[in-house]
Chain A
């Protein structure tokens, strides 16, 4: 199977007043065509920074890709492009953004421009990447709104973001992201900010669209439940590192890393009724500040099974084909 994106040893550092934060610290993975890759981990583990590195949308004042490569493999068999080497503002990068790779963000309430109608915001990408005139683009925008399940698209296309609910706005964001038929979609916690019932609807929509458009998706979430619902393969991240990688079936059947186990034990239920019954078992402690960590297994301070050897950092070991884990217990 062909890859769409191949990330190798990516390091993205953030300069803060308290020093350099290695937000992404040697991450490697690839996404196959039509594959949905889940990226899970608690907040602060470097998921968003990984995504923003691929899009070259890092806050340029203080975050930058230090090393590694991000190869995008175009569809027509052309040579791959190393995004990490491109200038974020270059024409080449801009022709990838929104056209080849699109992104949906976590905050639907603030991710749309308040002073333009949703129609105007959808046609922007169409006018830019597809050679359409304004009228054609508007018609396409209406189709797209219909496609993402917005009722009365002819009317709503003229509305402003503030006239819409969070769920509707996220649908609009999806419409924008899909407008130019991207090959690869990055969804950074697209449902975290939404009501549970709306969450399920949006996930259904994304699943449907993924199949209809033959897209690859990188689905960022901190919820293992979403992974089970949406993904083919999963990458578990902890403090800027990949700690486990496996097929979804595999991860639910035989999770290896203690951190993954913790995440599985704390799945919030999408159904609110079940949610009340089920007590979550959270992982002890919090994600430490990444500027503090130095040596040893990064999960050791919170790990229930830590032992002597854990003072040294374990490598990512492939225990079975396609199942990798970074833990001394599975040497």
Chain B
């Protein structure tokens, strides 16, 4: 187990090198003038200056190898350039937005994974009976409903009609407290910070704002995890070892738990990892509908405004997340499957 994890961690630098090379390669599609944009904070800076001179100053006309090294050095220092669309350094923009995305993802992941697995195994146990059909309809609706429609429905019902779950991340009064000096921002995730500050009013307010987007995301991904769990369970049910379990005289409940579900969960881990990755990369549409300012919204705005620095920066950040999440998935994999652990 230890060896396995160590091997995975040792392979990380190689993966990261590959990823940075790939991004750098894509950057070669941009002209030096476009790249220059990430060094310029305001149009004033360009006044009475020759862009070609600036390009030379920033070394953008140097050979690729040299530029790559310099770029990597900057990235390691956390210098990802200036974002024109956010009007702040890219690094700060990401750090300001990521907690919102992370908070949303964490809230969505738990009901999605547990609910998905429970519903999926329920469907499999009721294969081709009404329980299966009902969950199938539930899944198809969730899966085929575009998230802007789902999001708007949630917003309409729970905000428009019932007034329970408003858009945004906080109410105005709460926002004022959060940005004041009395409130310490430990993580940038308001629910967690509110608990750490012992401020329950803020906690409830943050939670109220989270439920709408969480619900929308959960419904979509629920369907996904559920269908994977279901088909994996159905597959596992016919395995020889399940019959062995029954031949021992074990009660059906134990057979389902120890023989069917524990084996069926192995592929679910992979899918769940992909899902977490998707959620962490920001969910543009849900963030837009609920005015929930996260990473997705940042990237989308940057792309619309041809803010190269921010697009490259978020790409870099996303790749970094990908590597981390993959590592976690690999480790989880080893936990659920001894064949991987002892390979």
Which A residues are within 8 Å of any B CB, using their own CB? Answer: 55, 57, 59, 89, 93-99, 102-103, 105, 107, 110-117, 124-125, 128-129, 160, 162-163, 173, 176
Contacts and interface: CB of A to CB of B under 8 A. Distances in A.
A173 B248 CA distance: 11
A116 B258 contact: yes
Given A113-B259, A114-B263, A97 B249 contact: yes
Interface in B316-343: 336-339, 342
Nearest to B338: A160
Contacts of B241: 110-114
A102 B243 CA distance: 12
A162 B249 contact: no
Given A113-B244, A114-B241, A115-B338, A124 B259 contact: no
Contacts of B163: none
Contacts of A59: 238
A260 B58 CA distance: 91
- A-B pairs with the 4 shortest C-beta distances? A97-B249, A98-B249, A98-B248, A94-B249
B246 interface: yes
A129 B251 CA distance: 12
A99 B339 contact: no
Contact of B338 (A96, A111, A124, A162): A162
B258 to A, nearest CB: 7
Contacts of B339: 114, 160, 162
Interface string B172-207: 000000000000000000000000000000000000
Interface in B227-263: 238-241, 243-252, 258-259, 262-263
Nearest to B265: A115
Given A110-B239, A112-B244, A163 B342 contact: yes
Interface residues of B, number: 23
Given A95-B249, A97-B248, A162-B338, A110 B258 contact: no
A105 B246 CA distance: 12
Given A94-B251, A114-B338, A173 B244 contact: yes
Nearest to B238: A59
A95 B249 CA distance: 6
A176 B258 contact: no
B262 to A, nearest CB: 5
Given A94-B250, A105-B244, A110-B240, 16 more contacts: A96-B249, A97-B248, A97-B249, A102-B247, A110-B241, A113-B245, A113-B259, A113-B263, A114-B263, A114-B337, A115-B262, A116-B258, A125-B248, A160-B338, A160-B342, A173-B244
Contacts of A111: 240-241, 243-244
Contacts, number: 74
A94 B251 CA distance: 7
Nearest to A125: B248
Contacts of B262: 115
Contact of A107 (B240, B252, B337): B240
Contacts of A124: 245, 248, 250
B338 A57 contact: no
A21 to B, nearest CB: 18
A18 B180 CA distance: 75
A59 B252 CA distance: 14
Contacts of A103: 247
Contacts of A95: 249
Nearest to A163: B342
Contacts of B336: 115
A116 B242 CA distance: 13
Contacts of A102: 247
A115 B242 CA distance: 12
Contacts of A99: 249
Nearest to A99: B249
Given A113-B259, A115-B337, A160-B338, A97 B245 contact: no
B244 A128 contact: no
Interface in B260-311: 262-263
B263 A115 contact: yes
A214 B244 CA distance: 23
Nearest to B246: A57
B249 A128 contact: yes
A99 B263 CA distance: 26
Nearest to A88: B246
B250 A128 contact: yes
A179 to B, nearest CB: 9
Contacts of A93: 249
Interface string B31-59: 00000000000000000000000000000
Nearest to A116: B258
A321 B272 CA distance: 66
A169 B243 CA distance: 16
Contacts of B258: 113, 116
A10 B247 CA distance: 20
17 contacts: A55-B247, A57-B243, A89-B252, A96-B249, A97-B247, A98-B250, A102-B247, A105-B243, A110-B241, A111-B240, A111-B241, A113-B263, A114-B263, A115-B263, A124-B250, A125-B248, A173-B244
A125 B336 CA distance: 23
A16 B248 CA distance: 28
A157 B339 CA distance: 16
Contacts of B338: 114-115, 117, 160, 162
B101 to A, nearest CB: 34
A160 to B, nearest CB: 4
Contacts of B246: 57, 97
Contacts of A160: 338-339, 342
A93 B246 CA distance: 11
Interface string B48-72: 0000000000000000000000000
B249 A105 contact: no
Nearest to A186: B247
Nearest to B239: A110
Contacts of B247: 55, 57, 97-98, 102-103, 105
